[in-house]
């Protein structure tokens, strides 16, 4: 039968309403059928429930279109209303039965759309059920035209919901499963070997704290968390106590430590549940400036306050004053954790600048400038540069996660100032206006070092930008040939991921968790060719290793060797880095722009013969990004 026949033969109901209600119900049916299999795996009765609901909706929708009756319409309205009711209960107080009784479920795009379709269909079905017989539709084409928008809407909504359900966050992903029949070591066993190093204890309690009227997530009640200073060569034992409402972990950004202490949920451990604690143990091998932060739902937990500075002090201090300056907040409201640092004329000062600012979508760096004294960039990412020459006012770009140690001597009369500048051509004028409107605090954040009058203020936009590729002088360095060479092409494209539309961020054409891991064998030398195919900045970070920057935009470095754990790859730039695979484990490689990592720019570095017993995904609740 054609549309004309149906409507003409059954003039009782308005065709438009009838077909729209049937379409909406069919859309809801499709959604229920698509989500039935994952529910089936979770709980048999729930899966069967979704399957039956889907089938019942599909059959009744077809029946409504073919043989509409008032009774059927009212019955369908009651059914859909009941489903909406169940949904509301499950998302607010939680269902009394099922896999997690009494616990509200998370609201997702799929279930919102499904309920929306049902609510609309209830309205139409009720109208169909209670309204007296309608006039016969004479102009069929008018009915079709009238029904078209709602059909498109119902179809579009249902298709979106189905796509969201099909791309839902995976239930369980193992980044390095144990290969059957092969001998392999679990990451859980890759701990620090016993030794006689002096032990230094650290206790960090992750908790919810009220700071300036804001509910923040803190370590020991402060944001940033307490500055940790340990001595090079010490055996550090950190006890993390989790008093947060959510699971969490601690990651030691930049440290070369045993894999089991790396703190990545779903890779090197299960996230520490509320009320539980976990002890991290490692020997602080490399002196330098590092930091620590949560690595479970990092995108949410770090910006809430779960981060702090970590300094591994050399046995012999080289400067009179040694101070950490942690930049945090977000690009519109960068905060500096000091405003005044004491120093006397003639004293040498080391400022350890850490960029923990949660970058926006463009991923752009922070650009501190030191004014009032010539300074050297003594170290990057904690690693000393060879023969650093004194610089005059220079902008030092730092991608999220990167660090720079600036060393200078206090002048006789003026104070010194660390200020934030911007990079040439960035941000865009639109962003600037936006940030200006956003920023209640003036954009002149600065730290004053010493008490004298402020130094002269140059035009920040006109001073040079630090160039890592020519600074300092060469020294013995890792060179080729390399055993493993791999491209890491960074891209982005709009699409559906984790059940919602997003700007998917890709490595080698895939988002996490589908990016093929970088596979290495202990002892191999590895060269990574990073290609940024986007208009964003990507500070790419590798856990547990320190790499050498081999080339920037294809040009080898001519100055000091540069050793980093995070390399900033600018829009459409390339960067080549090399390292020795000397730390077995399963390690994360990701963009440190948390937004980008959360949208898929994440992969792992897998050593031969190492597996992880931990899983990421909704089943375990381990979500490292
Ligand atoms: Cu600072 Cu995987 O991160
Ligand atoms: Cu990025």
Q: Quote the ligand 1 centre to 150 CA distance (angstroms).
A: 47
Whether 565 and 541 have beta carbons less than 8 Å apart is answered as yes
295 CA closest ligand 1 atom index: 2
Q: What angle do CA 151, 155, 161 make, to 5 degrees?
A: 150
Measured from the alpha carbon of residue 535, the closest ligand is: 2
Q: Which ligand is nearest to the CA of 597?
A: 2
Q: Which atom of ligand 1 is nearest to the CA of 291?
A: 1
Task: Find how far residue 303's CA is from the centre of its chain.
Answer: 10
Q: What pLDDT is stored for residue 107 in this prediction?
A: 87
Atom 3, ligand 1: residue with shortest CA distance: 253
- Gap between the Cα atoms of 319 and 372, Å rounded: 18
Question: What angle (nearest 5°) sits at the alpha carbon of residue 388, between those of residues 383 and 394?
Answer: 100
Q: Which two tokens stand for residue 170?
A: 């995976």
Return d(Cα 462, Cα 594) in angstroms, integer.
30
Q: Which atom of ligand 1 is nearest to the CA of 597?
A: 2
Q: What is the pLDDT of residue 134?
A: 54
- The number of the ligand 1 atom at minimal distance from the alpha carbon of 254 is 1
- Nearest Cα residue to 562 out of 332, 379, 391: 379
Nearest CA to ligand 1 atom 1: 253
Query: How confident is the model at residue 265, as a pLDDT?
Result: 98
Atom of ligand 1 nearest to the CA of 401: 1
Tokens for 312? 């591994």
**What is the pLDDT at residue 8?**
40
- Interval between CA 541 and ligand 2 midpoint (Å): 10
Q: Which helix (H) or strand (E) holds 216?
A: strand 214-219
Ligand 2 geometric centre to CA of 536 (Å):
7
Q: Kindly report, residue by residue over 398-445, the tens digit of the pLDDT.
A: 999 999 999 999 999 999 999 988 876 655 555 555 554 444 334 447
Q: Which of 281, 152, 286 is nearest to 232 (CA)?
A: 286
CB atoms within 10 A of CB 299: 17
Q: Would you give the distance in Å from CA 309 to the centre of its chain? A: 20
Write the CA distances from 457 to 293, 306, 334, 494, 567, integer angstroms. Answer: 35, 34, 20, 43, 30
Q: What is the mean pLDDT of the chain?
A: 90
Distance 510 CA to ligand 2 centre (A): 14
For the CA of 381, the nearest ligand: 1
3, 330, 578 from 439: Cα distances, Å: 59, 10, 40
Q: What is the pLDDT of residue 160?
A: 86
pLDDT of 52 reads 93
Ligand found nearest the CA of 537: 2
φ/ψ (deg, to 5) at 183: -75, 135
Cα 363 to middle of ligand 2, angstroms: 6
pTM: 0.87
What is the DSSP-derived secondary structure letter of residue 106?
P
Q: How far apart are CA 603 and CA 296, in angstroms?
A: 15
Chain centre distance of CA 65: 47
Query: Which residues' Cβ are closer than 6 Å to ligand 1?
Result: 251, 253, 293, 295, 401, 541, 543, 588, 590, 592
Please list the ranges in the chain whose pLDDT falls under 70: 1-14, 132-140, 424-444
CA distance linking residue 126 with residue 17, whole number of Å: 10
How far does residue 593's CA lie from ligand 2's centre (Å)?
A: 5
Cα–Cα distance for residue pair 245/518, rounded to 1 Å: 35
Beta bridge pairs of residue 334: 329
- Do 414 and 454 meet the contact criterion of CB atoms below 8 Å apart? yes
CB–CB of 68/13 below 8 Å? yes
CA angle (462 as vertex; 459, 463 as ends), nearest 5 = 95
């Amino acid at each position: 039968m054609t549309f004309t026949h149906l409507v003409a033969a059954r003039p009782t109901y308005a065709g438009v309403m009838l077909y729209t209600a049937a379409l909406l119900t069919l859309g809801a049916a499709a959604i229920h059928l698509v989500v039935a299999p994952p529910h089936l795996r979770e709980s048999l009765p729930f899966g069967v429930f979704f399957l039956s609901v889907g089938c019942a909706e599909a059959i009744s929708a077809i029946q409504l279109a073919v043989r509409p009756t008032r009774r059927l319409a009212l019955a369908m309205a009651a059914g859909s209303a009941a489903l909406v009711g169940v949904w509301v209960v499950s998302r607010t107080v939680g269902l009394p039965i099922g896999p997690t009784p009494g616990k509200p479920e998370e609201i997702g795009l799929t279930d919102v759309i499904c309920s929306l379709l049902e609510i609309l269909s209830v309205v139409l079905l009720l109208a169909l059920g209670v309204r007296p017989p309608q006039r016969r539709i004479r102009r069929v084409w008018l009915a079709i035209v009238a029904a078209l928008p709602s059909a498109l809407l119902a179809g579009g909504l249902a298709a979106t919901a189905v796509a969201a359900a099909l791309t839902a966050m995976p239930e369980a992903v193992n980044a390095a499963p144990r290969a059957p029949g092969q001998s392999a070591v679990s990451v859980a066993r890759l701990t620090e070997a016993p030794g006689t190093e002096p032990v230094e204890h650290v206790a960090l309690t992750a908790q919810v704290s009220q700071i300036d009227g804001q509910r923040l997530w803190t370590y020991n009640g402060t944001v940033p968390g307490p500055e940790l200073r340990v001595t090079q060569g010490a055996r550090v034992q950190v006890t993390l106590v989790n008093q947060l409402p959510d699971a969490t972990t601690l990651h030691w950004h930049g440290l070369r430590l045993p894999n089991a202490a790396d703190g990545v949920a779903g890779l090197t451990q299960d996230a520490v549940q509320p009320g539980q604690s976990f002890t991290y143990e490692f020997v602080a091998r490399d002196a330098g400036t590092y930091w620590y932060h949560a690595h479970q739902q990092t995108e949410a937990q770090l910006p809430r306050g779960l981060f702090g500075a970590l300094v591994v002090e050399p046995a012999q201090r080289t400067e009179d004053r040694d101070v950490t300056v942690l930049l945090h907040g977000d690009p519109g409201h960068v905060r500096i954790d000091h405003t005044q640092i004491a120093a006397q004329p003639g004293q040498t000062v080391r400022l350890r600048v850490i960029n923990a600012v949660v970058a926006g979508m463009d991923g752009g760096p922070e650009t501190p400038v030191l004014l009032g004294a010539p300074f050297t960039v003594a170290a990057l990412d904690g690693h000393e540069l060879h023969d650093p020459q004194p610089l005059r006012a220079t902008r030092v770009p730092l991608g999220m996660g990167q660090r720079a140690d600036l060393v200078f001597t206090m002048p006789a009369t003026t104070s010194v100032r660390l200020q934030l500048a911007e990079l040439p051509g960035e941000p865009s004028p639109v962003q600037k206006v936006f940030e200006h409107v956003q920023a209640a605090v003036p954009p002149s954040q600065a730290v004053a070092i010493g008490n004298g009058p402020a130094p002269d203020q140059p035009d920040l936009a006109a001073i040079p930008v630090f160039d890592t590729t020519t600074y300092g002088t060469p020294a013995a360095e890792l060179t080729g040939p390399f055993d493993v060479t791999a491209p890491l092409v960074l891209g982005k494209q709009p699409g559906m991921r984790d059940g919602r539309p997003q700007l998917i961020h890709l490595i080698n054409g895939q988002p996490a968790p589908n990016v093929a891991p970088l596979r290495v064998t202990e002892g191999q030398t590895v060269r990574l060719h990073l290609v940024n195919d986007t208009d964003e900045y990507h500070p790419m970070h590798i856990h547990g290793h320190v790499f050498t920057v081999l080339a920037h935009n294809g040009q080898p470095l001519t100055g000091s060797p540069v050793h980093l754990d995070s390399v900033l790859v600018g829009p459409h730039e390339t960067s080549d880095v090399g390292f020795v695979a000397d730390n077995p484990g399963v390690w994360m490689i990701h963009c440190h722009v948390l937004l980008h990592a959360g949208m898929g720019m994440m992969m792992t570095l897998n050593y031969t013969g190492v597996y992880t017993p931990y899983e990421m995904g909704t089943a375990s609740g381990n979500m490292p990004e």
